[in-house]
Chain A
Amino acid sequence: MRELNYANAIKEATDFCLQEDKSVLLIGLGVPDPKGIFGTTSGLQDKHGSDRVMDMPLAENGMTGIIIGASLNGFRPILIHQRVEFALLSIEQIVNQGAKWFYMNAGQQNVPIVIRMVIGRGWGQGAQHSQSLESWFAHIPGLKVVMPSNAFDAKGLLISSIEDNNPVIFIEHRWLHNTIDYVPSDGYRVPIGKAKIVREGNDVTIISHSYMVLESIRCAEVLASEGISVEVVDLRTIRPLDTETILSSVSKTLRVVVADNGWVQFGVSAEIVSVITEAMFDKLLSAPVRIGMNNSPNPSTRALANNFYPRADNIAKIISEMMKKNLDIKVLFPKSDIPQDIPDPSFNGPF
C-alpha cells in the first residue's frame, strides 16, 4: 500500500492533469514560491513551464474573471486561494459570472474551472483566517463544491474536478494537509456527488465533511468502547448533495447528528437536517442535532478556541444525551481541556 500525505496527493493530482491535458493551467499567489502553497504546487512550474504554472497579481476578482475567460477559449485553469477569505474578493465573478454562464447562454459556452480554497482552524488565526464558508458556494446553482477529508479522496476528487466541465470549488482543510492515507500512484478518479460511509454503525449516524470527519471518527471510536455503534458519513461533495447515501444511513440508525465544519445557522448542516426531516420525520427516534462553530466570529486567543471549534467530545456529549446514556465525557476524552488550537503537538505550522 503506497502512502502519501494530503498535500502531496493534491500535488500529484495537479501534476497528473497538467501532464495529461495541455489545456490545464495552474495559477495562484505563491504557486512557484519556495513554500509552494503548503507544498501542494512545489516543483510544478519547473516541470510544466511558466506559461502554464504561474504566480499572479493580488487581484482575486480580476484573476477569476481572467480564468473564466481563458476557460471560454479552450483552457482548464485552476486558481488557488491560500485562505477562503481571499476568495471573497472574487464572489462577483464566481457567483454572477462563472456559476451562471452556461445557463445564461442556454448551454452554448461552459466554464471548466477549479478554484481551490484553503480553510483552517487554530493557532490564533482569528476572524479572517479560519472560516468555513462552503455553504455560501453550495447555495448557488451552477457551482459544484467538493471537500475531501483524506488524501485518497483529495487526489481522486481533484482529478475529477479538473476534468469536470463546470466551475468546481475545491475546499481543503489546512489541518488535513499532513494526514496520510493510501494513495495509488495512477490517475484514478473519485466521483463528484458521492458521499461515503467511512465507518459503519447501527445506533446513530454522524454526517460530516472535511476536517470534522476526523473528529467524527474519533468520537465513533471512543463511543464504541461504551457500546454505542456509530455510523459516520463523509459527504466528500457538498453540492450536488448525495441525499441517497444520507437517507439510506439514517434509515438504518434513525438517529442523526450533523457535525458541520462551519457555522450551523443557514449552513450545510441546516440543509442536511432539512433533507432528512422532509423525507423521514415520522420515522426518526429523536430530533436531529447539529453542531458546528460557535455562533460568533472567531477570536484569536487559544483560551477561547475550545469553545469555538467543535470537537469529538462535543459530538459525543450530544450522542450520549440522544441515546439517554449518562456518559462521563471528561473521562472518555481526558485531553479535552487542553487548548485545541493545534491538531497535535507534532504539527508546528505553517498554519
Chain B
Amino acid sequence: MNSTSQELYFSMLRIRMVEEKIAELYPEQEMRCPVHLSIGQEAVAVGVCEHLDREDIVMSAHRAHAHYLAKGGNLKSMIAELYGKETGCAMGKGGSMHLVDINSGFFAAVPIVGSTIPIAVGVAWAFKLKKSSNIVTVFLGDGATEEGVFFESLDFASLKNVPILFVCENNLYSVYSQLDVRQTPGRKISALAESHGIKSFTGDGNNIDQVSELTNEAVKYIKSNNAPVFIELDTFRWLEHCGPNNDDYLGYRKKSELDQWIKRDPIETYKSRMIEEKKITMNEIIQNIEVISNEIDEAFKFAKDSPFPDQSVLNEHIYKD
C-alpha cells in the first residue's frame, strides 16, 4: 500500500516486460502450455493489488499473470511453471492457467470461466467466520458475469456480508465474441451487482490513478461496512485471446478499435503524465528497465536450467493423507 507513482509505473512495466518476453520466447515451443497474456490490462492488476495486504487473498482466472505478479507472486516460480519444471509454482502440474503462490496470498487461478468466483467468496466467508480483518479479491472478466455461478456468488456474498472485492475487467471480448452479442447493450455489468444489493463502482481500467482511488475506497468500504464491493473497469486486451500473437487479421474486431486502445496504453500514458509532472526522469526509467530486464533474464535462465519433475510426481498429490 501507499506505493509511489514510480513504484506503480515500474510494477506495470515489469508485468508488461515479463509478458513480452513470454511472447518472444513462446515460439521456441519450450513453454508448452496455453498462455493468455494481459498486455494492455496491467493497470487493473497493479492499481488493485497495491491496496491489499500480504495476508489478503487474491484469486483469478485464465488471464492471471498480471494478478499473480502484482500480488507479489514469485517470478522465477511462475516462469518455471510455464516451462513445466519441478521448480515451478505447482511443480509443472498447473501451467500458466493454474498459478499459485500461497505465501504471497495468491491462492489460485483456474481456466473454467467464473469458477474461482464462488471459491473466493468461500475463502472470504471463512475470514468473516474467523473474525479476521483480511479480505479477498477475485478478478473476473466480462464473460464470467454471464455464468450462473457469478449470480449465485453475488447472492451469497450479499446475504452473508462477505468481505470480498469483485474486480471485473471488462475487456469487451470473450475470445472472439464481443460483449454486445452476449449481454444486453447499454446495461452496465456493475448493475448486476447493484441489483444484488452490492455497492458498485465503475471506472477506467487503463488509468491506474483511477483504479487505485476506486480500490482504496472499495477496501475501506468493505472493512468499515462488513460488506462486499464490486468494481467494473473498462480495459482492452491487445494480443490474441490465447497465445503470443496478434489476431486482428481474423477480422473479429476492427484494427481501429485496437489502435484507439493502444493510444490509451495504461503504461505509456502514465509515463507521459509522470514526465510532465516531473515525477520521473528518462534516466531513471532507463536504469530501472535494465534492472527489470536482468531480473526477467535471470528468471528465464532459472526456468530453462531447472530440471523437469521426476516421474514419481505423476502419482503424487492425488489424495492428502
Binding site for B on A (CB under 8 A): 51, 57, 59, 61-75, 92-93, 96-97, 101-110, 141-142, 144, 165-166
- Does the CB pair A108–B102 fall under 8 Å? yes
Per-position contact with A for B186-207: 1 when CB-CB < 8 Å, else 0? 0000000000000000000000
Given contacts A57-B152, A66-B125, A106-B94, contact A72 B319 (CB under 8 A): no
Which residues of the partner chain B approach A101 to less than 8 Å between Cβ atoms? 108
A159→B124 CA distance, assembly (Å) = 27
Which residues of the partner chain B approach A75 to less than 8 Å between Cβ atoms? 126, 129
- Does the CB pair B94–A104 fall under 8 Å? yes
- Does the CB pair A92–B115 fall under 8 Å? yes
- Nearest-neighbour CB distance to chain A for B125, whole angstroms, equals 6
User: Which chain A residue shows the least CB distance to B59?
Assistant: A69
User: Which chain B residue shows the least CB distance to A107?
Assistant: B317
A110→B319 CA distance, assembly (Å) = 8
Stretch at the interface among B24-32, B38-46, B153-161: B153-161
A59→B94 CA distance, assembly (Å) = 28
Secondary structure at chain A's binding surface: helix, strand, loop or mixed? helix
Per-position contact with A for B90-126: 1 when CB-CB < 8 Å, else 0? 1101100010101000011010100111111111111
- Does the CB pair A70–B122 fall under 8 Å? yes
User: Which chain A residue shows the least CB distance to B153?
Assistant: A62
A51→B160 CA distance, assembly (Å) = 10
- Nearest-neighbour CB distance to chain B for A152, whole angstroms, equals 25
Which residues of the partner chain B approach A69 to less than 8 Å between Cβ atoms? 118-126
A142→B318 CA distance, assembly (Å) = 5
Top 7 A-B residue pairs of the complex, sorted by shortest distance between their CB atoms:
A69-B122, A65-B118, A62-B152, A73-B126, A59-B152, A66-B122, A106-B91
Beyond the given A62-B121, A62-B156, A73-B130, could you list 20 further A-B residue pairs with CB under 8 A, ordered by the A residue number?
A62-B118, A62-B152, A62-B153, A65-B122, A65-B149, A66-B121, A66-B125, A69-B119, A69-B121, A69-B124, A70-B122, A70-B123, A72-B122, A73-B122, A73-B123, A93-B118, A104-B93, A104-B110, A106-B316, A144-B319
| Cβ-based interface call for B321 (8 A) | yes
A69→B321 CA distance, assembly (Å) = 20
| Cβ-based interface call for B320 (8 A) | yes
User: Which chain A residue shows the least CB distance to B155?
Assistant: A57
Given contacts A105-B100, A108-B100, A109-B102, contact A61 B126 (CB under 8 A): no
Secondary structure at chain B's binding surface: helix, strand, loop or mixed? helix
- Does the CB pair A66–B93 fall under 8 Å? no
Which residues of the partner chain A approach B119 to less than 8 Å between Cβ atoms? 65-66, 68-69, 72, 93, 97
Cross-interface CB contact of B159 among A57, A68, A71, cutoff 8 Å: A57
User: Which chain B residue shows the least CB distance to A54?
Assistant: B160
| Cβ-based interface call for B127 (8 A) | yes
- Nearest-neighbour CB distance to chain A for B81, whole angstroms, equals 10
- Does the CB pair A61–B93 fall under 8 Å? no
Interchain residue pairs with CB less than 8 A apart (25): A57-B156, A57-B159, A61-B118, A62-B151, A62-B153, A65-B119, A65-B153, A66-B118, A66-B125, A67-B122, A68-B122, A73-B57, A93-B149, A97-B119, A101-B108, A104-B90, A104-B93, A104-B100, A106-B91, A106-B94, A106-B317, A107-B320, A109-B107, A110-B320, A165-B319
A102→B319 CA distance, assembly (Å) = 7
Given contacts A70-B123, A72-B123, A106-B90, contact A65 B318 (CB under 8 A): no
A97→B116 CA distance, assembly (Å) = 9
A51→B108 CA distance, assembly (Å) = 26
User: Which chain A residue shows the least CB distance to B95?
Assistant: A104
Which residues of the partner chain B approach A73 to less than 8 Å between Cβ atoms? 57, 122-123, 126-127, 130
A69→B94 CA distance, assembly (Å) = 18
Which residues of the partner chain B approach A71 to less than 8 Å between Cβ atoms? 122
Chain B interface extent, by class: 35 or more
A166→B148 CA distance, assembly (Å) = 26
Which residues of the partner chain B approach A97 to less than 8 Å between Cβ atoms? 110, 112, 115, 119
Which residues of the partner chain A approach B118 to less than 8 Å between Cβ atoms? 61-66, 68-69, 93
- Nearest-neighbour CB distance to chain A for B166, whole angstroms, equals 13
- Does the CB pair B149–A72 fall under 8 Å? no
- Does the CB pair B115–A93 fall under 8 Å? yes
Given contacts A93-B115, A106-B91, A109-B107, contact A74 B126 (CB under 8 A): yes
A349→B124 CA distance, assembly (Å) = 40
User: Which chain B residue shows the least CB distance to A167?
Assistant: B319
User: Which chain B residue shows the least CB distance to A96?
Assistant: B112
Q: Which of B94, B98, B316, B317 gathers the greatest number of chain A CB atoms within 10 Å?
A: B317
User: Which chain A residue shows the least CB distance to B159?
Assistant: A57
- Nearest-neighbour CB distance to chain A for B67, whole angstroms, equals 16
- Does the CB pair A96–B115 fall under 8 Å? yes
Which residues of the partner chain B approach A93 to less than 8 Å between Cβ atoms? 115, 118-119, 149
- Nearest-neighbour CB distance to chain B for A2, whole angstroms, equals 32
Which residues of the partner chain B approach A106 to less than 8 Å between Cβ atoms? 90-91, 93-94, 313, 316-317
- Does the CB pair A70–B320 fall under 8 Å? no
Cross-interface CB contact of B321 among A57, A63, A66, A165, cutoff 8 Å: A165
A62→B158 CA distance, assembly (Å) = 13
User: Which chain B residue shows the least CB distance to A111?
Assistant: B320
Which residues of the partner chain A approach B117 to less than 8 Å between Cβ atoms? 65
Which residues of the partner chain B approach A67 to less than 8 Å between Cβ atoms? 122
